[in-house]
A and B are shown apart, each in its own frame.
Chain A
Amino acid sequence: MQFSKVSGKNNTHKVTLYALSTCVWCKMAKQFFNENSVEYEFIDVDLCDEKDKQKIHQTILNKGGSISYPTTIIDDKTVITGFRKDQLKEALGI
């Protein structure tokens, strides 16, 4: 599974973004992290093979999320479904 890593000054949290390449709100999430210099990794799930899609679904569901994009997982525990700027800001302390 190939995650793309984006480095940034705000790197105290592990931020994983599950996105779709076609999804507007996923693009907004990426833009938000870039603008706020948040270090994160992302994967465009629609471009993954079936096996990786399954694994990603299991990861998201296991952490209490739902199959909805974008999904952001912070420090392997906090799940934020959708592009919710205030929730992201709060969780990241920015």
Chain B
Amino acid sequence: MTAITLDYVRKRAEADAKTYGYYLTPQPDLLQSFLEGLKVNEERYGYPLCPCRLASGNFDYDRDIICPCDYRDPDVAEYGACYCRLYVNKTVYESKQLPDVPERRPLEKQMRAYGAAAWGKEEKAEAAAEKPTEAPKPEAKKPSEVKRKLWYCKQCGYVVFRDDPPYICPICKAKRELFAEIESKIEYNG
């Protein structure tokens, strides 16, 4: 495997920004920090996980937050920047004013990645700790399996194979609603 260099990470981000008509964050020191974060994550997990988010370490559960994440396109469209503010649109780039961008990643994906037990189960866990004779405290729910499907864009015909369709078609920019599932019997192992 070739070593991941900062230069490689930078060039990849620059190329991606260019392809999609975005800009990289206008502040050089911030940009450097983002690229370093991506590099560390790629070395640590084997994929460039979003530097501003916590990995689960399980590729299937982290896939939506591998940079560029699933949420970048809708976030740039709505706020002018991605959640981290690594990718920005022209207006933000020129104004140098970075907007606040809330987390768009749905709760269900967070729960799947980090274990549902953290959500609303502490009371029961505490009660169990106080009264050790009671039933054992609830185990973390087994995260639902990731099921990949084929999706196609009704507007341009672009096809993807993933658990859910993109928010915005990377080819023709159609919204998620324009994606439909292709019924098929493909067996996928791996």
Contacts and interface: CB of A to CB of B under 8 A. Distances in A.
Interface of A: 20-25, 27, 45-46, 53-54, 57-58, 61-62, 66-69, 82, 84
B114 interface: yes
B122 A20 contact: no
Given A22-B37, A24-B34, A82-B100, A45 B118 contact: no
Contacts of A62: 122
The CB with the most chain A CB atoms within 10 A, among B33, B53, B54, B120, is that of B54
A20 B110 contact: no
Interface string B49-84: 001111100000000000000000000000000001
Contact of A24 (B37, B55, B117, B122): B37
Given A22-B51, A61-B118, A66 B103 contact: yes
A66 B111 CA distance: 11
A24 B51 contact: yes
Residue from A27, A58, A67, A82 having most chain B Cβ neighbours under 10 A: A67
Contact of B40 (A22, A53, A54, A82): A22
Nearest to A20: B54
Interface residues of B, number: 26
Nearest to A54: B118
17 contacts: A21-B40, A22-B36, A22-B52, A24-B33, A24-B34, A24-B84, A45-B54, A46-B54, A53-B54, A54-B114, A54-B117, A54-B118, A58-B121, A66-B103, A67-B54, A68-B103, A84-B100
A45 B57 CA distance: 13
Contact of B51 (A20, A45, A61, A68): A20
A55 to B, nearest CB: 9
A16 B37 CA distance: 22
Given A45-B54, A67-B54, A84-B100, 6 more contacts: A20-B51, A23-B37, A23-B51, A54-B140, A57-B114, A67-B118
